[in-house]
Chain A
Amino acid sequence: MKRYATARIEHLQIAIPAGGEDAARVFYGTLLALRELPKPAELAARGGLWFRSGSIALHLGIDPDFHPAGKAHVAFACSEYASVLARLAAAGVAVANDALPFEGRAHCYVADPFGNRIELIDDAPSAASEEANAEPTIVAVATPPGQGAISVVRVSGSRARSIAARLTGASALAPRHATRVALVDEAGRALDDALALSFPAPHSATGEDVVEFHLHGAPVLAREVVRAAIACGARQAAPGEFTRRAFLAGKLDLDGVGAIADLIAAESASAARAALANLGGALRARVAEMRSRLREPLERLAASIDFPDEVEEPARAPLADTVGELEGELARLQRDGEVGRLLREGVSLAIVGPPNAGKSSLLNTLLGEERAIVSDIPGTTRDSIEERFFIDGVAVRAIDTAGIRAHADKLEAMGIERSQRAFESARILLLVLDASLPLSTQGEELLARSEGRTRIVFFNKADLGTSAVRPVSGLSICGSVRWPQTLRELRAAIAQAGWGTEHPDLERAHLAFGEQFDAVARALEALRSARAALAADEALDLVGNDLRLVDAALAHLSPEAASEEMLAGIFARFCIGK
């Protein structure tokens, strides 16, 4: 630490007119929230006030020949800038905001009651600088997949606490205490009555701010919470990412397993090497081919810069063509990847319809076994139930919703909420209507609400009558869950709505991990930037800078993967430290 002859500011003095103490108390004490200190007795006789707050020592001295300081001023950094401003405004103090931020922070000018200029600066670090320094905040379901009594959603990263504040409405959670909260999504819609636990950094599993939500056990609910957290700025965690962060933060207790860590690492390494070798030969070839098209212009550009008198720089027009082509191909890779992800994770299907239209019977028939509770009493299905069945090898995650009724009893309220959400978030809606009875108001409503969505309208119970059947937009089927032909039609309709007429080509869907999607997204972003730079006639080195980013992102997809990805792979494959 450097020592300076004149080391620091001991106090600041502002002049006020005689008799100004009371007005000063209100302004500095109440509005700016500085704490008044009693003046030493020997000085008290001179009048004036002393304030202290944190490192601020402010003296207000009586000047018999007072003139307000209109230019020279004191600037206070406020940790609660917004509330200070609100207090000042409420007290009728004119606030002159400066639109230009001061070192990236908001600031403004006010005058104290005597006309002295005071500057206020927002002391909260700007979100941007905080973000730049932190790894992205991640979220995932922490409990094993499937139905359990409780599912846990974990959020880790610098935004964890602000996300928790958004989802719980609670401004602060007591550290390491279970707090009962009414969980809402990003739009304020109720999600669940849950427990929330906050583990502030560094005393958490990952060493970052961590918030956990303990929810009632429905998988769809956990996914909803994850989705809401993502909407609030988190990113879906990659496999093993929590563990990896924990490791990097030195948080994983390997005591005791230290001896076998070598063994595990050795296995991981060979397994990861092997996995990498296998990692979609097709993807590798495709990426290698894309990189090879960048190589010539990049090498030429580099050579033209280092040997300017000897090598011509690459021509812009062909470069722009290459950039356009790569953009197209990467976008296609991304789309294929999305299809692949959809296929691996399954297609969500919400079975909706008025009570007693036969939704549960339909699901049971599709599943081939009796799972959901079935009865003739309307509203028997109290909870959304998620089940899986397969069509052409693709998982369909079917959610049988509770009957959506106008007069639901209280016990059903929560189930109905969830049904609404399932209705909104499912990729495919299967609207089951009773064909034998005139269409109920609720049926009409559902038809109207599902207009424009990917939906299949199934007029059920056609064996009993078809008075409700009418032409509707999109796919529609008339039949009965008792008829095998109807079931075949339904399965075909689900396949068509889920992944189109083309048979899903799992071979083409190479992108498997979140990081691969990220890499492709990065490459695409850099390509767009390169295209814009070329169009604006920017210097070629700057275009090259973008293209090198493209190359680096693509390299991430190929065998020379970065160690971070390796780590992710190792931790995804081996359950270390759990």
Chain B
Amino acid sequence: MGLVITWDRGTILLEGEVPNEIKTLSFIKFDSRVGKYRALAIYYPRLLAVAKSLGQEVEDRVWGLQCGEVRPASEVKLRAYQEEALRAWMRTKRGVVVMPTGSGKTHVAIAAIAQLKEPALVVVPTVELVQQWHAKLRHYFPGRVGVWYGEEKRESCITVITYDSAYTAVEAIGNRYKLLVFDEVHHLPSQSYRQIAELSPAPHRLGLTATPERADGLHVDLDWLVGPVVYRITASEIRGVWTADYEIEIIKVRLRENEAKLYKELEAKYLAYLRKKGLKFRSPSDFQKLVILSGRDPRAKEALDAWHEMRRLVLETEAKVDAVGEILSRHRGSKILIFTEYTSLARSVSERYLIPLITHDMSPYEREQIMAMFRRGEVKAIVTGKVLDEGVDVPDVDVVVILGGTSSARQFIQRMGRALRLKPHKAKIYEVVTASTREVHTARRRKKGVS
């Protein structure tokens, strides 16, 4: 009966005739619990290749495909550089396509699905992105697109799923899709999400991102999880041609008198501890030292608490809520996206100006309704924490307000990108920063390398 391979919850089981050359492969182990050989599902294509080179007959029972052929109802039209990206990927049907925000990565993926005609699992970071991909895919593959997140689980030939759901579900549904598409693929190499790629046998994989690099260096693993970068085009290569031009304005606000006093006190406490211990912070990893110290030393814990409190003060000051009023009155009629670091500030803005709020603790139903209203232009502004950092596609946003954020350049680029879909006029980015505090440096750091 030859070599029989089957699917078992994210792994491949080998039964029947297992040649020695296969038994001794580094990625194959004997599982004494079931008395069979086993491999992570990601090795499926390699296993087949080895069997073929040995002339070993294989009975392949791995697949329980979601459906047969997936055909688009209408032609997918691509711009020249999208066409180039698709061709580069189709050579091996594996790999990462790097394109700036607003350049239409989604269409490259849709074209790839249309060409392969195989059931596909599309993995995206947020519920908003699930909705958005669903809407776009449905246009080309009517009646064949499902969604899977939170309570809603409807599978179809093409299923759009969040990273969180896919992490759990891959054991159950991994063998139903031959193509994996990872949107914002820089999330994938993390300790848990990478398992989506490892526990799937899909031979074809496409990753999309504007910025594959990760601070922790794990992006090198994308090579084996998805495939190498097969195409890259930068923002400057298409700026002004395909995406909008922009202008950044910094608005400085001052802490309230009582807030400023508290800030000074906290800062003194924090700095005193650093001086005493001779600590100097030159990079983010130096800060980790303080975090580690705080586990043992109560004084370090106090210093760390002071730092957190300072951060909260500058990011959440009422003065920032006031500044929003000023910006709103300058841009009546424009579409505005407001970002905060903490949910509490987002709430204050929402309650004061009656602007809808998108945060992770709101119900998915309300989030969906709000996004739809925003797209239709029935509401002109939205305030959000971090959930809309990535990928939300509202073509005519022309003002982005950043009330608070980290020093990460990636976050800054992603947020800015929300306003950079092609439009005839310049996009406006506001950064609201608390004067004479550490936030001034944070804001400077995140703009390094952005021009």
Q: Does A associate with B in a complex?
A: no
**Which residues of A approach B to under 8 Å, CB–CB?**
none
**Which residues of B approach A to under 8 Å, CB–CB?**
none
